[in-house]
Structure 1
Amino acid sequence: MKAFFTRFFTFNNWANKVIADFISANDIQDEQVLRIASHLAHAQRNWYFRVIGQQNDVPLWTPLQPPAIAAQLAENGALWLSHLSELQDDDFHTKLAYKNMAGDPYLDNLADVLTHIVNHSTYHRGQIINLIRGLGMTPPGTDFILFARQIP
């Protein structure tokens, strides 16, 4: 499981960087693009601190500027990969106790939480790509298979 999740999060980091670099390189200032990209960065951060037992959620929809989005996504990615490197396969079956943004308590399997984090990211990158198309631009590709071809 450790190898799977390490690769899954390496993909996630790659795709986040592709999107953040595209936003910066094209000086995209569209409010919705920045709002969703910021949400993506905040959510990954919040989940990281929940997983390591230091939950201190930040508001999920606070907009950031492109350099801050890129920096936070890169930092999140490094934190996640570092944390995953410390886990043993049995750790992925442990239960994670946390509260959602509304304060409701939950107890979920760590592997399910990790899967959610990457799937949540993929969902929102798709929204960003759709918005980029709406701006008349050709968005970058962030599909897993593109990553797999570059980083076998």
Structure 2
Amino acid sequence: MVQFFRELFDYNLECNQKLAQMIVSLQEQLPEKVIGLYSHILDAHQIWNNRIHAREKTFGVWQIHDTTDFINLDLKNYRHSLSILESSDLTQVINYKNSTGRHFNSSIRDIIFHVINHSTYHRAQIAIEFRQNNLDPLMTDYIMMKR
């Protein structure tokens, strides 16, 4: 299971890194919503990592980042996730509070799957924004990476 999640995080990293490069190169042509959505991908990933294994001050849920920081923040999230995969019992249930202060319990396995799924969801929203601005979106289908 760890190897499968590692592959998913590799996929997530590849997509996010390419998308970050596109955003930086096309920034003048993109609506602010794209910056907000990509920042949110980074924020949520870092927040979930910190819920499992706190390392640093947690980002805000919709904290906006400078596009020049996108690549490094994504790499930092990726490395933290791999560290969690290598050092955790994925069936372990952790207790955490969400952004509104409600308490929940989830397995590490479910949380790390959520991180991947959440990123995919918001990359799709970014793809729509690209299309609405007459730009070709990045192809980020998982199966295309596996081919």
Provide the C-alpha distance between the structure 2 equivalents of 1:143 and 1:56, rounded to a whole number of angstroms.
32
Of residues 75, 98, 115 in structure 2, which corresponds to 1:100? 98
Aligned counterpart, 2:145: 147
Aligned counterpart, 1:75: 76
Of residues 121, 125, 128 in structure 1, which corresponds to 2:126? 128
2:10 is equivalent to residue 10 of structure 1 = yes
What is the aligned-residue identity percentage?
A: 29
Judge which range, 108-117 or 24-33, deviates more. 24-33
- Cα deviation for residue 53 of structure 1 reads 4.5
Query: How many pairs are equivalent?
Result: 146
Provide the C-alpha distance between the structure 1 equivalents of 2:58 and 2:66, rounded to a whole number of angstroms.
20
- Cα deviation for residue 54 of structure 1 reads 5.4
- Cα deviation for residue 27 of structure 1 reads 2.8
Pairing of 1:23-38 with structure 2 (within 5 A): 23-28=23-28, 29-38=30-39
2:50 is equivalent to residue 44 of structure 1 = no
Amino acid at match of 1:80: S
Task: List runs of 5+ in structure 1 lacking aligned partners.
Answer: none
Q: TM-score, normalised by structure 2?
A: 0.91
Provide the C-alpha distance between the structure 1 equivalents of 2:60 and 2:83, rounded to a whole number of angstroms.
24
Amino acid at match of 1:100: N
Provide the C-alpha distance between the structure 2 equivalents of 1:54 and 1:18, rounded to a whole number of angstroms.
26
Structure 1 vs Structure 2 CA RMSD: 1.6
Provide the C-alpha distance between the structure 2 equivalents of 1:55 and 1:67, rounded to a whole number of angstroms.
20
Cα deviation code 1:33-88 (max 9, x no counterpart): 0000001101101111111145853211122221122221121112212321234x
Q: TM-score, normalised by structure 1?
A: 0.88
Provide the C-alpha distance between the structure 1 equivalents of 2:71 and 2:133, rounded to a whole number of angstroms.
20
